Structure 1
């Protein structure tokens, strides 16, 4: 919470300015607790957010660390990738085999973000750090959304890389002839099946209804779009997807694993980031497992068909 480019800051949640003094911050916290408490007609999600905000800025030491990391003080961190483009390490510190990976997670959205943030800042302006939290915080929503989704894709990539050598993963795949915006974020192939995976960060809580993800910050139809992309790529590669998975930040979902049943005949689950590895290892209810020679055949067909954005 509060780490996403789309999330409200702790100060926003407490409804105070970032430079408020300690006494003003404490008064605001108490007021917001009364306003949001479920027993007095408040919203339970907001009540939890207020408590979390206080944990982050309620003491001088915690507040100083938070300010440095979120652009309210001397900036010490940024949203920049670890290198020119994040990829799972080929020689990890531990000796456990990694999943076989292809493509660059979040690559297209990072490139688009850099183009738009520089255009927004002004032509001819040189940005010392286009990922400076203070800069990101003031950028238009559509620009921050690109960065948030890139970070979400990179987080998923780190998780699936650790699934082990029995898995093959493709990132940033062209799903339909409609450009990168219609891409599949990830395809994961392993013993539990073949899954199309969408990494999202809407910047706030979401829920599900009638086989779709909904919420104040949700635009479009994420599940329907994911399923349509999987079906299109499946036909092109002559493979059958076992299921589809939408991955969201842990704080934005009420349950870690929410299985929606079948959408257009494809089993779908909405899962928290922390639960993703578990779901990919055990599979989604109703999904067909893939093993033996079929696993190699599906991998070959996809490798011959997949195009990266």
Structure 2
């Protein structure tokens, strides 16, 4: 809820200045509770946000941690280069000896690079910033910059989920669709191959609730036709590599979807499902309704064709 560059800060939710003293913060919290309580006509979702904001800044220790930047905490993505996110406050990963999925490419890499270039131009006139991921800086940046970082984080989160599926899965990150230019409009965030099928995946964070209408995503932060665009890119990749995708998956933050798994049927002949991030591993293991499972020598053939055809952003 508060771990997205597109979301309001805990202070904004409470309606108080970040420099407010403890008593001012407490008064703001009590006022917001009264204003948002469902029993007095408030919005239940906002009421929950207010309580969560208080948990983050309601005690001196929690507030100090939040102000240091832990409101944007994130673990590094699997096999990410150490230079991809300088200054990003991430907990040290624990040693993990479990077999991991085969991973190719840099999840979120294209958007991270664009974010770093543009945030320096915007904030530092090309001068190196002490911390380009400082939460105060991020939240004050223009929406298109925060969106770049939010989507990079979303792609990295998906990469961690897929990596945990084990060595039976192969994933390609930041794949450029065949015959398209090197920009975000030509990119497939992830291609995942496993026993349940071959899937194209879009990882998104629109900064708020998303609904589904007539086979497409709609919401305040949604622009264009994300599902139709994903399917079109997958069709181009399928032709170039000589493979057949089993389905398309759109991954969104848990708080932004009404259902954890919503199967939409077919879009231009491709089965599509919209899932919450926590449900992604379930979908990839069991497959999508209408998707064709892949087994035996076909897995090796599809993997080889893709490995020879993909190019990365």
With the length of structure 1 as denominator, give the TM-score of the two structures.
0.90
Moved more, 34-43 or 14-23: 34-43
Task: Please say if 1:127 is aligned against 2:129.
Answer: yes
Equivalent residue, structure 1, for 2:181? 178
Moved more, 39-48 or 136-145: 39-48
Residue 82 of structure 1, CA deviation = 7.1
In structure 2, distance between residues paired with 1:301 and 1:78: 33
Equivalent residue, structure 1, for 2:169? 167
Query: Given the superposition, is the C-alpha separation of residues 45 and 207 from structure 1 closer, same or farther in structure 2, using an over 3 Å criterion?
Result: farther
Query: Given the superposition, is the C-alpha separation of residues 5 and 79 from structure 1 closer, same or farther in structure 2, using an over 3 Å criterion?
Result: farther
Residue 99 of structure 1, CA deviation = 0.9
In structure 1, distance between residues paired with 2:293 and 2:152: 29
Task: Please say if 1:194 is aligned against 2:193.
Answer: no
Query: Given the superposition, is the C-alpha separation of residues 79 and 282 from structure 1 closer, same or farther in structure 2, using an over 3 Å criterion?
Result: closer
Equivalent residue, structure 2, for 1:42? 42
In structure 1, distance between residues paired with 2:154 and 2:126: 30
In structure 1, distance between residues paired with 2:98 and 2:193: 19
In structure 1, distance between residues paired with 2:221 and 2:283: 25
Residue 255 of structure 1, CA deviation = 2.2
In structure 2, distance between residues paired with 1:127 and 1:112: 15
Moved more, 257-266 or 239-248: 257-266
Residue 77 of structure 1, CA deviation = 7.2
CA-atom RMSD, angstroms? 2.2
Equivalent residue, structure 2, for 1:103? 105
In structure 2, distance between residues paired with 1:260 and 1:29: 40
Equivalent residue, structure 1, for 2:141? 139
After superposition, the C-alpha distances for 1:85-106 in whole angstroms (9 at most, x for unaligned) are 38xxxxx833321111111111
Equivalent residue, structure 2, for 1:288? 292
Q: Secondary structure at the match of 2:68?
A: helix
Tell whether the 8 Å contact from 1:79 to 1:133 is kept in structure 2 after alignment: no
Unaligned runs of 5+ in 2: 86-93
Residue 247 of structure 1, CA deviation = 1.0
Query: Given the superposition, is the C-alpha separation of residues 38 and 175 from structure 1 closer, same or farther in structure 2, using an over 3 Å criterion?
Result: farther
After superposition, the C-alpha distances for 1:115-152 in whole angstroms (9 at most, x for unaligned) are 11111124353312222222222211111111111111
Equivalent residue, structure 1, for 2:83? 84
After superposition, the C-alpha distances for 1:61-85 in whole angstroms (9 at most, x for unaligned) are 22222122258xxxx9799877123
In structure 1, distance between residues paired with 2:39 and 2:266: 37
Task: Please say if 1:14 is aligned against 2:14.
Answer: yes
Equivalent residue, structure 1, for 2:153? 151
Q: Secondary structure at the match of 2:265?
A: strand
With the length of structure 2 as denominator, give the TM-score of the two structures.
0.89
Moved more, 55-64 or 280-289: 55-64
In structure 2, distance between residues paired with 1:243 and 1:134: 39
After superposition, the C-alpha distances for 1:233-280 in whole angstroms (9 at most, x for unaligned) are 111112111111111122222222122222112111111111111111
Q: Secondary structure at the match of 2:199?
A: strand
How many residues in Structure 1 have an aligned counterpart in Structure 2?
Answer: 300
In structure 2, distance between residues paired with 1:186 and 1:29: 41
Q: Which consecutive aligned stretches of 4+ in structure 1 deviate over 6 angstroms post-superposition?
A: 76-82
Moved more, 245-254 or 35-44: 35-44
Unaligned runs of 5+ in 1: 87-91
